[in-house]
């Protein structure tokens, strides 16, 4: 394990950027999101949760796939180049790192999504332990440890130092690249890190959603949950705005569209939402004809369909973004509690 004074983080970012592309939390117009580092960027590592996760770095909100060009009577297809530059995503939290594990099971299974795979191959994740978890957090419910992020490099802020621990080969390679700015740690530093982890764990135990129970949710309860009359009550405040899907670190649905530019047509994909009425629209219409059905799909996928196909792993990381951002106060916590109460207080 190594350490670096927090006052030297700007120098660290500058050194990383000499060799890698660098993405980290940047505050702009009052909001913090992951963005490319620059000398004049307002880096914001203090905000616990960015508005969106760092999912964009590996699964962009919009990306080109290929372009078809026409010259006379000839047509050519030019595929978009795959990611080739190594890059670092600095400052991800444990819940968002778990989000990548969920996406891996989708995009790295056969047939492999080559665009996502290239980014995962070239990307190095530097995760940051959550110094002060917030009331909307419930990552522990889904087996995520906010004090011990599982990434290429795990960092722990304690006092005026940031402690740095490489956990993978990618992490070791990055550590070697920035070693000139890192200092060796001693026994006292180890005590400081463990104290920081203990403090995080104690704080987590006091959060309001930490005792949320997943009992009765798994891949074996499809009919029981699907046919429940509770959905008819739960969905009614839903505005179908899709905010929950766009801030979620695990949602992976996308649409494919074309746009023309004179003598060429480009095909691209962009995030989509199962909450929209035109999601997966086909010639004959939409399989889910009501907002209740679309609302049910979102939570059945997170808590039933995904674990049924992925060895029990849930497609929720407990980040709490949907709790914070839904304009109608609808979220996965409310759904789980409603089924737990089975008609009682929701």
Instruction: Give the model's confidence band at 343: pLDDT under 50 very low, under 70 low, under 90 confident, else very high.
Output: very low
Mean pLDDT of 135-143: 95
**Where do the structural domains in the chain lie, given as residue ranges?**
2-71+78-205, 222-341
| Residues facing residue 76 across a β-bridge | 69
pTM for this model (two decimals): 0.92
Q: How far apart are CA 73 and CA 71, in angstroms?
A: 6
Q: What is the pLDDT of residue 277?
A: 84
Sign of CA dihedral 146, 151, 156, 162: negative
pLDDT(344) > 50: no
C-alpha dist (Å) from residue 104 to 206, 289, 312: 32, 30, 15
Residues 248, 61 contacting (CB under 8 angstroms): no
Q: How far apart are CA 337 and CA 233, in angstroms?
A: 13
pLDDT digits (tens, 9 = 90+) for 172-221: 999 999 999 999 999 999 999 999 999 999 999 999 998 899 998 987 88
Q: Which residues of 1-26 are buried (b: 16+ CB within 10 A; e: fewer)?
A: ebbbeeeebeebbebbbeebbbbbbb
In terms of C-beta density within 10 A (0-12 exposed, 13-18 middle, 19 or more buried), how is residue 205 classed?
Answer: exposed
pLDDT digits (tens, 9 = 90+) for 88-119: 999 999 999 999 999 999 999 999 999 999 99
pLDDT digits (tens, 9 = 90+) for 18-41: 999 999 999 999 999 999 999 999
Residues 141, 340 contacting (CB under 8 angstroms): no
């Amino acid at each position: 394990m190594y350490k670096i004074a927090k006052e030297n983080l700007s120098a660290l970012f500058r050194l990383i950027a000499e060799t890698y592309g660098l993405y980290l939390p940047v505050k702009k117009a009052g909001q913090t999101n992951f963005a490319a580092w620059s000398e004049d960027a307002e880096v914001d590592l203090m905000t616990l949760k960015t508005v969106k996760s760092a999912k964009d770095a590996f699964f962009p909100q919009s990306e080109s796939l290929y372009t078809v060009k026409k010259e006379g009577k000839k047509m050519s297809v030019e595929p978009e180049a795959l990611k080739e530059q190594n890059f670092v995503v600095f400052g991800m939290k444990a819940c968002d790192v778990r989000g990548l594990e969920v996406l891996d099971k989708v995009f790295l299974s056969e047939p492999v999504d080559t665009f996502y795979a290239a980014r995962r191959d070239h990307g190095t994740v530097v995760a940051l332990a959550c110094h002060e978890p917030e009331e909307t957090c419930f990552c522990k419910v889904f087996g995520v440890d906010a004090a011990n992020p599982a990434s290429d490099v795990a960092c722990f802020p304690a006092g005026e130092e940031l402690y740095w621990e490489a956990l993978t080969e990618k992490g070791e390679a990055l550590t070697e690249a920035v070693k000139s700015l890192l200092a060796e740690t001693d026994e006292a530093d180890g005590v400081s890190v463990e104290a920081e982890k203990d403090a995080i764990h104690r704080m987590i135990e006091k959060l309001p959603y930490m005792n949320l129970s997943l009992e009765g949710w798994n891949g074996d309860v499809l009919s029981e949950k699907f046919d429940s009359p509770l959905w008819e009550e739960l969905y009614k405040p839903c505005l179908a705005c899709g905010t929950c899907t766009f801030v979620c670190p695990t949602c992976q649905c996308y649409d494919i569209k074309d746009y023309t530019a004179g003598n060429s047509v480009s095909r691209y994909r962009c995030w989509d939402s199962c909450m929209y009425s035109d999601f997966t629209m086909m010639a004959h219409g939409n399989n889910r004809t009501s907002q209740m059905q679309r609302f049910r799909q979102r939570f059945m996928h997170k808590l039933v369909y995904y674990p049924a196909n992925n060895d029990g792993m849930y497609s929720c990381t407990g980040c709490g973004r949907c709790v914070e951002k839904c304009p109608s106060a609808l979220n996965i916590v409310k759904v789980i509690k409603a089924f737990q109460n089975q008609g009682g207080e929701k």
